[in-house]
Structure 1
Amino acid sequence: MNRRTTAFVLLGVLAALCGALVFLVATTTGARWSLALAGTALRGDLRVERVSGRLLGPLELDGVRYRSGAGAVAIRRLVLEWRPRALFRNTVHITRLTLDGVSVRLPGAHPGPSRATAPAALHPPVTLIVDEASVRGLTVRRGAAAPLHLDEIVLHARAGPRRIRITRLHVRAPRGALTVTGTLALRRPFPVDLRLRWTLRLKDHPPVEGTGRIHGTLMRLAFEQRVTGALRMRLHGRIDEPLGARRWRAEVRLPALDPQQWNPDWPRATITARLRAQGVGADFRLTGTAGVAPADAPKVRARFHLAHRNGRWRLAPLVATAPGGRRITVDGTWNASSGAARGRLRARWNRLAWPIAGTPVYTSRSGNLEVEGTPGDYRFRLAFRLGGRRIPAGDWRASGRGDRNGLLLQNLAANLLDGRVSGSGSATWRPRRDLDLNLHAADLDPGARWPEWPGKLSADVHLSGRLRDGRLQARLHIASLRGTLRDYPVRGDLQGGVDGRGLTLPRFAVRVGDARVWASGAVGMRWALRWRVRAPHLAALLPGASGDLSAEGSLRGVRAAPIATASLRAGDVRIGSAAAKAFDARIEIGIRDDQPVHVAITAEDLRSGAFHATRAGLTVTGTAARQDWNAKLVTPTLRAAIDATGGWSGARWRGRLKRAEWVPEHGTPWRLAGGVPITLGGGAVKMGRACWRGGDGRLCAAVQGRRGGGWRVTMQARRLPLAAFDPLLVDDARLSGTLDADARLDSTAAGILTGAARLRAGPGLLRYPAAAGGGRIGYRAIVAHLRLRPDTLQGRLDLALADGDSLGADLTLGARGARGPWRRRALRGTVRANFRHLAWIGLLFPQMQKVHGNLKADLRLAGRARHPVLTGRAALTDAGAELPALGIRLTELQIRAHGTGANAVTVTGGARSGKGRLAISGAARPGPGGRWDARLRVTGNDFEAVDLPSARAWISPALDLRIAGRDLHLSGTVRMPRASLDLRMPRSAVHASPDVVIVGAARPATPPTAWRIHARLRLVLGDRVRFRAHGFEGGITGRVLAIDEPGKPTLGQGELKIVDGIYKAYGQELKIVQGRLLFAGGPIDDPGLDLESVRQVGDVTAGIRVRGTVKRPKLTLFSTPPLSQSDILSYFLLGRPVDQASAAQGAALSNAATSLGLGGANLLLGRLGSLLDLQEAQIESGGIPTTPAPPTVPGPPPGVANAGTSSATSGPSASLVLGKYLSPRLYVQYTTSLFQPGNIFRVRYKLSRRWSMVTETGVESGIDFLYMIER
């Protein structure tokens, strides 16, 4: 082949190669062939569904899939645009690269090289310029881990021979975004400088934003992050040898975090934290401190240490503390280095309480928890003490085991309410969510937590439940409820449940004494619930209650429109301070427009505290859409009536007040002048202008407002008789004169109040009865002004009495433009008083009469409402008073108070009684919340404290009194050098039998008090204290320390001795040779007894020893020489042996023996009666009557003794009495004599509320009809 031929061949080959190259890069078919060749060259399977364009660009690929081993990449669409000419400059210039719908599957994690070595430099073969590259819809999956989803990745960058410059790298994910800019050098030491900005969006929480920087070299990288937004935090640290050893350290600071920014329902607090960590690779040590400062609670502090090394974790320990000794300690380990992971966790706590702020609802004094094992097999032990305001305190213990599928509670035990609870159960959550729990409660005493409910209760409880398709199904069965409650036998059974359709109550039956409560039914798409209460003695169900109650009712109909019915009848009922002779109610209420509404309630002889109504009633008739209302009230001094009509319209009741009147027995009747429209409900209330007229007087009022909006109340009075306020005055005082008043109160939607009021009264008189000292006070005028603005409250009062005495006060709270709570606003004001006549003090303090003296005050107020500052002086001088209840007269009475302006008021004073004097000195300081803190010293000498015919006493006190808010602390000594107490009942006085019950009588009630009293008071009796009472006469000496704390009985420590004591009984004077009352720290009203009384008859000494306590005395007889018990008692009472006693003396001796010995028998019979469900079981002194006696009313309720029978026999007289209600109206009683033959059988049947029939069969038979008048 010649040279020309060779040249043509080479030229042809070159042309063919160029043509092939042009074909591959400039045609769509060439692009397909190129991709196929690339797939062949790659180690894997590359497939492209569609190719459009050319390699020179633009190029579009659809359905790209590549698979290699366990990894795979899928791209729904790829678009490439670039500049091929840049290749001549050794540059790859991509103008646009877009990848849509990218899915990447990576093989599972596998260990790689732990260390890498950076080359001296990186030499990229070309320069790479990326104008815009984006990936939209990227999903990355690795093994079984949760997939990573990214919405978009956008890159603008340039990679040259020396560095990579990232103009912008933006990553957007469903819950956040990240933007990175900066440079990376390609030569050692490879400097790096990157800046980051990111945003994290959390569901239902405000976003968190951050900025940061990563800089340094591949030998040491430093990083900083600053987090802003709802979470403010700083993070900084460094990594040494990131490609080698990877040693690192970091520190995080959380300056302040308010949880309410994350959840408005969380309590307001400030959370701070500081964390420090260092490590190598995945191994690290972390230490941290944190604090939580609630807005209204003490701060909680925590510290912890956490370490990880080679798959082993160790928490050692986490300690959280709070003031008051509250502490939690948690430590544990977790080992996942080899095989199944195994761990151990321990937690201990002391004095925990929840909530942290305010009064705790739940408390745990101590506890501990231990968990050990693997997630598939672990054991746990739990022990803690739990109590609180809503639950009884108890010690709980639990142990069991669990796995990934559920938990087995092998043992649950608790000691609470002086009883025991034990049980076991299980809970599973895979494959099904089930719960099963069995409990047994034994001898629980509710009185240990609620003193008004003492008893012993036992029960078996089974609780089961399951969750199916999101619906809860549960069953509760309380079986065999048994025991006693307030000495009443209790039996009960309860079955209830919840399913997807509603609540079910197959059975609820409880019996307490003779009272029964029953209910049964279901509440779901249809309501079908019935209930019934039968309580012949309401005391069995409610402590402190009495009377007969019968009630029943139902709830029926469809769920959207049920109808409730109820009927109730009660007689002689009393609950707390409220009582009624008769109460009857019939109720039927529906909520749909066409459903009936019928209410009929009547009450007779209704009482509550000082309120008394002879009759009251309420009647409502109609339908849910429209009803007629009528209410009436009749009292001994007033008749009132209200008539209204209206009905429901949606969520609002709209109607009209047609009549509203009250007619006093003595005075002017007041009647509504015209109808008044009324709207209630739906968050709104509106009453048009309503005016009442009474004589020349007129009273008008109007109300309008709605929830979330403003409201207004206006009132106007003209010539309103002040006598209308007489029921509010004490001790039947009477007030005359008239009142003119105008008042207005407004509120904005934001709750800002404004208003004004003006009142003027007079002239008139205030008359007060003799019980308060007797007399009258004339006044010329009473004027008051009040104005409320958003920033200030101003008030002024002027009182001018007819005798020239006066009182003036003005007050301003706040200042122009003031904001914030009223208690923090500025306070200023003055009080001036000048009284020369003080008889009216007896009206305020009925214990004081004939009060005289001078009272002057000139005071100024400053400071703030919560911390007022008082300056000025007030003085009571030349004063005196009588205290009739104590029979003493106070003279030279004076009290002076001086406010120095140093936030303190000094108090001095004193008084004389008899020849002695009492002095007081101290200081008082106003505290927050309008409370005062004070320290006072009370001293005296020979002060006559009591001067009555039955008692005279002189005392010399030395007491310290401290007041701190509602707490009153009293300590010191009261010496009583001499006293004379004579509590003997007059001969003409009639003793009430202990079994007398006065029906309807008011029960003594402990008056409520706002003070919490803490007292340690020592009483020292001198040798001139004499005491006479009930046959006893003698002296008492000694000392007793009384200790009183809120909510606890008063305790006593010390000893009192009886000196020269004589006891007269059965016509004899018995000498008390030894007598002591011992107070050993128990209740002061139940001291120990150490008494011994003897009688000497010739050579015989007979006596009685009394031991035990006052409430449980133990009597024993003794003699010298030893005699039988009957002879000892005969010598002691009669002075001769029993065989020498006359018949009358023998009867008296038998009655004395019976009275000494029946107490224990009655206690035993009372317990036996409770077990046998008897309402009466006791031994009574008095035998079977030999002549017909008027039969008593048998069958008192438990705890109330029946009237005893009389006896005309001369022998020993004691009877066993048993009684039981067979029905609420039928009572049977059996009485048999213990010392003589005979028995009586009585039957009582209640014919009506007042009529009863009593039949008696025994010594004699008969029938009686009784008419009972109770008052």
Structure 2
Amino acid sequence: MKLSGQVVQQASGTLALADERLAVDVQIMQKEGRAGRLNGAVLIHTDGREVDVAELTVTLGRAPWRLVPSDRPPTVGWSDEGLVVSPLLFVGGAAGDERIAVSGSWRSDGQGALRVTATHMFLDTLEGAFERPASYGGVVDLDATIRGTPQEPIVKARVAISEGRVQRFSYQSLVGRVDHAGEMFDVDLRLDQSPGVWMNAAGTVPLAMFNPGLAERPIHLVVTSSSIGLGLIEGLTDVVRNVTGELRVNATVVGTSRDPHFQGDVGLTNAAFLVTLTGVRYQNGRAALTLASDRIGVDTLHIEDGNRRPLDAHGSLGTHEMTVGDLEIDAQAQGFEIVRNEFGRLAVDLTLRLRGRLETPRLGGVITIASGDLKVDEILARTLFQPYATEAMSTTVVDAVAALNPWDRLGLDISLHVPTQMRLTGENVQVSPDTPVGLGNINLRVGGDLYLYKDPGQPPSVTGSLDRIAGTYTFQGRRFDIDEAGSSINFHGDLNPEAYVSVTRLISGVLTRVTITGELRSPAIQLTSTPPLDQSDILSLIVFNTSTNQLSSAQQQELALRGATLAAGFFAAPLLSALESELGLDTLDIEPAGELGTGPKVTVGEEIAPGLIARFSRQFGSEPYDEATVEYYLARILRLRATFSDAASVSTRASFRRVERAGVDLLIFFSF
């Protein structure tokens, strides 16, 4: 049902009538968790069209407003001519210093005047009463007079808000008048953000601006400002920090409610800020925008990085019916820094074009890496293994700038040229989570050409290759040189490129070669040499500088463990088979990473006496441990197994197994 134009989802309570006294206690529920309550008593006059309000408490959410008692109870009367209210005064707030008063009449012939005043009313308390974050704050003083008829009301109001807030934007005061008649607002408001920093809006605004179903009406609103400090942006977003600079607005809104236009200009000077995500600080920013009836001209947009390298842009944005239409923005920069954080540093030359419409913009052009030093280990750790926050975040208001992120609506068509000035470094680069060994340490310089393409609402596509690779690669503690003629990283559309990287090192007269191939997230490794040797001998040369038949027993065990550990991080089945054969092992096994976050497990085993088998296992991952097992075959169906582990009260995440420090098991095998 509807009550005073508001949809009420549920109303429940009691009404009690005795000796012309009506007691009311009604709970009202609306959607979105809004609730209210009416509690009080009225004395009904004999004509049935007038009541004396003996007591009344109106509760909005958790905030009660109580009628101030008086010697003569206030009266509310109604008739065919209208509504008459003798002074009603409500108080609220913890200190009782918030007041709302209603008095006067509102008649169907338009002759009445109903006055509503609010004194020292806190917007935070009023909105927060409904148990949701308060979007508005401040202390309000209001004096409004309502005339006319319910069908065509005439409102004249003066409003003053001190210490105000809208979301995260705070201001010192908002003062002025707002009049309404004939579906038109006549406003004259001044906003003071801080001493000497103000914005004024004066003119007429049709109600149809907020209700498109109404008839089209003209608009004329003049907006002027002092130089406004850009630091107030930090109250709206975390995207940028340490913001300084000044903004000046001189604009007039003309046209109609369905097709408003802007005339005037907007200026920006001395802008500086730090981009939180990239860590780059920009300075000496300035902009000049010209507002015309059908277009916003970007006459100048200039910003410099920390090395005073500039980015300049110019162009225009078409406007029509409160929307931004055709985009024509061009930007150029040389050696402009775009990354400076824990992931490295990156500067680019760029020539970009922004076209299309605001709802589906398309960015095209050419970007050339001018200089770069990227830490691959940090980038992969963040993008592959920590793509989202691992800790619960408290509920906060929406970031006004981040909410405008156009990525999903954006189209891309960019050529990315990478000269060999770009350097890639990393220590123990990991491409899969919870693996005991990564790709190794890299120190590379790469070059090539990539092409970035994206349609609105679609994932990005990357094609091309980095086919100029030079530098060094550390494998098993040995530094290898990149084979520049035989190495490349190729993109075939997705963000999981195919790599073919070959490195060489001369060891004891043997040219050893390590080749990494396959997709980045699941690479394979191959060991070859000149003259040709078995893969186990090649690994032995790399690790111990000698062949496998020259290794001691302890070295053979370490080699087996290293080989198995290496295979746990790569696809290297041939290497495992070669090690088993060369070292005479009965068991060299790898269990892949588990689904519940456990890492891979490597097991080495050998039959040391008839029926007596010894195994050693190492579990990698977030809860690593070592485990030794001795198993004796008592009979065909009966075995005795003793287990020793350094897992101090570690319970693995496997569903059916618990790891203890020591234990003896008697195993019975049968089939049916």
2:617 maps to which of 1213, 1233, 1236: 1213
Aligned: 1:693 with 2:105: no
Q: Does 1:1017 align with 2:414?
A: yes
Write the letter of the residue equivalent to 1:925. G
- In structure 1, what is the Cα distance between the partners aligned to 2:544 and 2:57? 80
Per-residue deviation, residues 881-919 of structure 1 (Å, max 9, x unmatched): 344654444332110011233544344211222141110
Q: Does 1:718 align with 2:110?
A: no
Whether the aligned pair in 2 keeps the contact of 1:741 and 1:759 (CA below 8 Å) is yes
Task: Give the whole-Å Cα distance in 2 for the aligned partners of 1:1206 and 1:725.
Answer: 64
Percent identity of equivalent pairs? 18
Q: Which of 1131, 1136, 1158 is the aligned partner of 2:541?
A: 1131
Q: Distance in 1 between matches of 2:156 and 2:454?
A: 46
Structure 2 contact 420–468 (Cα < 8 Å) conserved? no
Aligned length: 517
Write the distance in 1 (CA, Å) between the matches of 2:239 and 2:205: 36
Deviation at 1:938, TM superposition (A): 0.9
* Residue number in structure 1 paired with 2:596: 1200
Distance 2:57 2:561 in 1: 70
Q: Write out per-residue CA displacement over residues 459-500 of structure 1, whole angstroms, 9 at most, x where no aligned residue.
A: xxxxxxxxxxxxxxxxxxxxxxxxxxxxxxxxxxxxxxxxxx
- 1:971 matched residue in structure 2: 364
Written as runs of structure 1 = structure 2, the 5 A alignment for 1:929-968 is: 930-948=323-341, 951-968=344-361
Name the residue aligned to 2:663. 1260
Corresponding residue for residue 76 of structure 2: none
Higher relative contact order (CA 8 A, sep 6+): 2
After superposition, residues 43-82 of structure 1 pair within 5 angstroms as none
Q: CA deviation at 1:1061?
A: 2.4
Bigger radius of gyration, 1 or 2? 1
Classify 1:947/1:820 alpha carbon distance in 2 versus 1 (closer, same or farther; 3 Å): closer
Q: What is the alpha-carbon distance in structure 2 between the residues aligned to residue 1117 and residue 895 of structure 1?
A: 59
Question: Cα distance, 1:1032 vs. partner?
Answer: 1.0
Deviations 1:621-649 (A, max 9, x none): xxxxxx99899xxxxxxxx998899xxxx
Equivalent residue of 2:663, what SS?
coil
Query: Mapping of 1:447-526 within 5 angstroms?
Result: none
Cα gap change, 1:1205 to 1:849, in 2 (>3 Å):
same
Distance in 2 between residues matched to 1:1120 and 1:869, nearest whole Å: 76
Q: Matched residues in 1 for 2:501 and 2:660: separation? A: 46
- Kept in 1, the 8 Å contact 2:295–2:316? The answer is no
For 1:738, the equivalent position in structure 2 comes to 139
Structure 1 counterpart of 2:218 = 826
The 2-side partners of 1:1110 and 1:1102 are apart by: 23
Task: Describe the shift of the 1:801–1:1140 C-alpha distance in structure 2 as closer, same or farther (beyond 3 A).
Answer: same
Partner SS, residue 925 of structure 1 = strand
Q: 1:1260: Cα distance to partner?
A: 1.1
Distance 1:909 1:821, change over 3 A: same
C-alpha distance in 2 between matches for 1:1212 and 1:827? 83
* 1:1124 Cα deviation from its structure 2 partner: 2.4
1:923 aligns with 2:316: yes
Identify the residue that residue 271 of structure 1 maps to in structure 2. Answer: none
- Structure 2 counterparts to residues 975-1014 of structure 1, below 5 A: 975-982=368-375, 1001=392, 1009=405, 1012-1014=409-411
Q: Which residue of 1 aligns with 2:488?
A: 1076
Q: Distance in 1 between matches of 2:556 and 2:128?
A: 60
- Structure 2 SS opposite 1:673: strand
Tell me the residue number matched to 2:105: none
Alignment CA distance shift 1:904-1:1207 (3 Å): same
Q: Distance in 1 between matches of 2:146 and 2:558?
A: 77
Range that drifts further, 1011-1020 or 1055-1064: 1055-1064
Aligned-pair CA distance for 1:873: 1.2
- 1:869 aligned partner: 261
**C-alpha displacement at 1:1103, in angstroms?**
2.4
Q: Distance in 1 between matches of 2:510 and 2:191?
A: 80
| Contact 1:823–1:866, Cα closer than 8 Å, also in 2 | no
- Over 3 Å counting, the alpha-carbon distance change for 1:885 and 1:725 in structure 2 is farther
Q: Which runs of 5 or more residues in structure 1 are unaligned? A: 1-590, 594-626, 632-639, 646-655, 663-669, 676-687, 703-713, 1163-1177, 1183-1195, 1218-1230, 1242-1251, 1263-1271
Please say if residues 1018 and 1040 of structure 1, whose CA atoms lie closer than 8 Å, have aligned partners that are also in contact: yes
Cα 1:941–1:965 shift into 2, 3 Å: closer
- Would the aligned equivalents of 2:442 and 2:474 in 1 still touch at CA under 8 Å? yes
Shift of 1:1042: 0.8
Kept in 2, the 8 Å contact 1:867–1:926? The answer is no
In the TM superposition, what is the alpha-carbon distance from 1:1253 to its structure 2 partner? 13
Contact 1:699 1:715 in 2 (8 A): no
What is the CA–CA distance in structure 1 between the aligned matches of 2:391 and 2:420, rounded to whole Å?
46
Match of 1:1123, SS? coil
CA drift of 1:1144 comes to 5.8
Answer yes or no: is the 8 Å Cα contact 2:601–2:617 preserved in 1: no
Aligned with 1:840: secondary structure?
helix
Q: For residue 1060 of structure 1, what is the aligned residue in structure 2?
A: 470
Native 8 Å contact 1:860 1:871 kept in 2 = yes
Letter in 1 for 2:229: H
Does 2:545 correspond to 1:1150? no
- State the AA in 2 paired with 1:877: T
Q: 1:1027 aligns with which of 424, 438, 446?
A: 424
Distance 2:472 2:241 in 1: 39
- How far, CA to CA, are the matches of 1:755 and 1:1063 in structure 2? 80
What is the CA distance between 1:1090 and its match in structure 2? Answer: 1.4
The AA in structure 2 aligned to 1:930 is: T
Q: Secondary structure at the match of 1:810?
A: strand
SS at match of 1:846: coil
Residues 1150 and 739 (structure 1), Cα distance of their counterparts in 2 relative to 1, 3 Å cut: farther
Residue 1119 of structure 1 is matched in structure 2 by 529
Whether the aligned pair in 2 keeps the contact of 1:697 and 1:721 (CA below 8 Å) is: no
The superposition leaves residues 845-875 of structure 1 with CA deviations (integer Å, 9 ceiling, x where unpaired) of 4343443333222111212334322211111
Rounded Cα–Cα distance in structure 2 between residues aligned with 1:837 and 1:984: 40
Contact 2:58 2:66 in 1 (8 A): no
| 3-state secondary structure, aligned to 1:1153 | helix
Write the distance in 2 (CA, Å) between the matches of 1:1013 and 1:823: 35
**Residues 218-237 of structure 1 aligned to structure 2 (within 5 Å):** none
Q: With structure 1 as the length reference, what TM-score do the two structures score? A: 0.35
Cα distance change, pair 1049–783 in 1 and its aligned pair in 2 (3 A): same
- Aligned equivalents of 1:944 and 1:1092: distance in 2? 32
Using the size of structure 2 for normalisation, the TM-score is 0.62
1:1205/1:884 Cα in 2 relative to 1: closer, same or farther (>3 Å)? same
The answer on whether the counterparts of 1:733 and 1:766 sit within 8 Å (CA) in structure 2 is no
1:1107 is matched with which residue?
A: 517
Aligned residue among 272, 293, 297 for 1:905:
297
For residues 1236 and 1075 of structure 1, the distance between their equivalents in structure 2, rounded to whole angstroms, comes to 47
Aligned-residue offset at 1:793: 4.1
Contact 2:280 2:338 in 1 (8 A): yes
Aligned residue type for 1:872: G
Q: Note closer, same or farther for the CA distance 1:1239–1:1232 as it changes in structure 2 (3 Å cut).
A: farther
Question: Residues 886-905 of structure 1: matches in 2 within 5 Å?
Answer: 886-905=278-297
SS at match of 1:1213: strand
Partners of 1:756 and 1:717 in 2: CA distance: 15
Q: Does structure 2 conserve the Cα–Cα contact (< 8 Å) formed by 1:1216 and 1:1234?
A: no
- Superposed CA offset, 1:425-454 (max 9, x none): xxxxxxxxxxxxxxxxxxxxxxxxxxxxxx
